[in-house]
């Protein structure tokens, strides 16, 4: 029986893919699924990347390129494990990840959250300051409040997800170029009956130039896609009466206000009445917070 299905979307970084695969324990109860997103030299990979020839590694390709979400959805279709986890091709697991996962494999919760470390891709000994949601874990361990992890931790790093949860609610990724994991991450938080938050670090996030997250919001296409993902999540919350005040769409709209006010007005007019209220509330609250902060600093200077 397969315990863990590890799904890896990949595009045109074969050396890093080899490093990623080498970090996965070679065990018959671990299914490794690599889904290539139409890399130019993908046909050569099975011969060029020795790690793809390891036992229990499966290699697939997307019919159309341009979406890690599509690649991940294909991986989900082929997954047979009790637990599913996702690993980016430029990232890797910690050395003892198999032992860490085994410690939690018999848990009854639907999702298990693990911490992540962040390093530079070209030198794994160098610490990176990339945001790895440490605050969300610290908040949980101090207050036992699950909301930040369930509803705001929108990366796939270090999550063991029960396959039956994914299947029961037909949870899938948005098949877009950017923020494809935002909805999926929120959906598992919404539908999970219970979660477990582990203190161990299981995942290593790497930072490199040229990745999709290295420089955000450079084009209108990217803005539109990320904004659409944020709206999709807000709609999910509303449908399931989740009161968590995420309002990520408001940040994206503010960004567009600063770039193109006519487009902002066009998009704002499309919002539901409830989301218009949220936008106004969100930025009014932000404005009042800045005013209070300014007054506090002014008094302290007297």
CATH number at residue 68: 3.90.550.10
What is the per-residue pLDDT for 288? 72
Cα-Cα-Cα-Cα dihedral of 171, 177, 178, 179, to 10°?
0
Its pTM stands at 0.90
Query: Residue 233 in contact with residue 248, Cβ under 8 Å?
Result: yes
Same domain (yes/no): 225, 201: no
Decide which of 302 and 159 is more confident.
159
Mean pLDDT value of segment 6-10: 97
Tell me, yes or no, whether 126 lies in a domain: yes
Same domain (yes/no): 198, 238: no
Of the given ranges (63-67, 203-207, 233-237), which has the lowest mean pLDDT? 63-67
Output the six-digit token pair for 95: 């050395």
Q: In which band, very low, low, confident or very high, does the pLDDT at 122 lie, cut at 50, 70 and 90?
A: very high
Same domain (yes/no): 202, 240: no
What is the per-residue pLDDT for 283? 81
Mean pLDDT value of segment 226-242: 95
Mean pLDDT value of segment 123-137: 89
- pLDDT tens sequence across 269-293: 999 999 999 999 888 877 776 666 6
What is the per-residue pLDDT for 299? 58
Output the six-digit token pair for 188: 């598992």
Tell me, yes or no, whether 254 lies in a domain: yes
Q: How far is CA 133 from CA 123, 129, 153, 155, in A?
A: 22, 11, 7, 9
Tell me, yes or no, whether 43 lies in a domain: yes
Mean pLDDT value of segment 1-30: 97
Last residue of some domain: 186, 207, 228? 207
Same domain (yes/no): 291, 193: no
Tell me, yes or no, whether 263 lies in a domain: yes
Output the six-digit token pair for 197: 């938050």
Q: In which band, very low, low, confident or very high, does the pLDDT at 65 lie, cut at 50, 70 and 90?
A: confident
Same domain (yes/no): 86, 199: yes
Q: In which band, very low, low, confident or very high, does the pLDDT at 132 lie, cut at 50, 70 and 90?
A: confident
* Residue whose structure tokens are 């990232």: 91
Residue 275: which of 237, 241, 234, 236 has the closest Cα? 234
Mean pLDDT value of segment 229-241: 95
Last residue of some domain: 179, 207, 235? 207
Tell me, yes or no, whether 267 lies in a domain: yes
Tell me, yes or no, whether 212 lies in a domain: no
What is the per-residue pLDDT for 258? 85
Same domain (yes/no): 170, 234: no
Tally DSSP H helices, then E strands, for the chain: 12, 9
Same domain (yes/no): 47, 70: yes
Same domain (yes/no): 19, 129: yes
Decide which of 179 and 295 is more confident.
179
What is the per-residue pLDDT for 238? 95
Cα separation, 111 vs 189, whole angstroms: 8
- Number of structural domains the chain divides into: 2
Same domain (yes/no): 65, 131: yes
What is the per-residue pLDDT for 245? 86
pLDDT-above-90 percentage for the chain: 78
Q: In which band, very low, low, confident or very high, does the pLDDT at 220 lie, cut at 50, 70 and 90?
A: confident
pLDDT-above-70 percentage for the chain: 92
Question: Which residues make beta-bridge pairs with 84?
Answer: 5, 161
Tell me, yes or no, whether 226 lies in a domain: yes
Mean pLDDT value of segment 143-164: 96
pLDDT at 113 over 80: yes
Same domain (yes/no): 139, 11: yes
Last residue of some domain: 174, 207, 240? 207
Cα separation, 64 vs 194, whole angstroms: 36
Same domain (yes/no): 196, 52: yes
Domain that holds residue 267: 220-301
Q: How many Å is the Cα radius of gyration of the chain?
A: 21
pLDDT at 173 over 90: yes
Same domain (yes/no): 198, 268: no
Report the mean per-residue pLDDT for the chain: 91
Tell me, yes or no, whether 215 lies in a domain: no
Of the given ranges (53-57, 75-79, 293-297), which has the lowest mean pLDDT? 293-297
């Amino acid at each position: 029986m397969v315990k863990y299905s590890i799904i890896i979307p990949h595009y045109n970084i074969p050396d890093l893919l080899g490093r990623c695969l080498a970090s996965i324990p070679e065990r018959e109860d671990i299914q490794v699924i690599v889904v290539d997103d139409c890399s130019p030299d993908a046909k050569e990979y099975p011969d060029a990347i020795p790690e793809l020839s390891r036992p229990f590694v499966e290699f697939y390709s997307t019919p159309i390129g341009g979406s890690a979400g599509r690649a991940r959805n294909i991986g989900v279709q082929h997954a047979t494990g009790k637990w599913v986890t996702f690993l980016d091709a430029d990232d890797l697991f910690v050395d003892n990840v198999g032992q860490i996962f085994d410690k939690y494999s018999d848990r009854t919760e639907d999702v298990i959250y693990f911490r992540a470390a962040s390093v530079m891709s070209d030198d794994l000994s160098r610490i990176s300051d990339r945001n790895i949601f440490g605050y969300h874990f610290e908040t949980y361990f101090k207050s036992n409040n699950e909301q930040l992890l369930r509803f705001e931790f929108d990366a796939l790093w270090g999550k063991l997800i029960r396959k039956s949860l994914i299947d029961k609610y037909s949870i899938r990724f948005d098949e877009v170029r950017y923020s494809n994991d935002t909805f999926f991450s929120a959906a598992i938080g919404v539908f999970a009956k219970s979660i477990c938050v582990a203190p161990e670090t299981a995942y290593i996030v790497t930072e490199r130039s040229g990745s999709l997250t290295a420089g955000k919001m450079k084009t209108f296409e990217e803005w539109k896609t990320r904004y659409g993902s944020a709206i999709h999540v807000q709609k999910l919350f509303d449908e399931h009466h989740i009161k968590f005040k995420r309002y990520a769409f408001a940040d994206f709209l503010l960004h567009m206000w600063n770039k193109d006010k006519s487009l902002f007005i066009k998009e704002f007019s499309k919002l539901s009445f409830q989301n218009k209220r949220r936008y106004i509330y969100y930025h009014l609250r932000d404005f009042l917070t800045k005013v209070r902060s300014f007054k506090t600093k002014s008094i302290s200077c007297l």
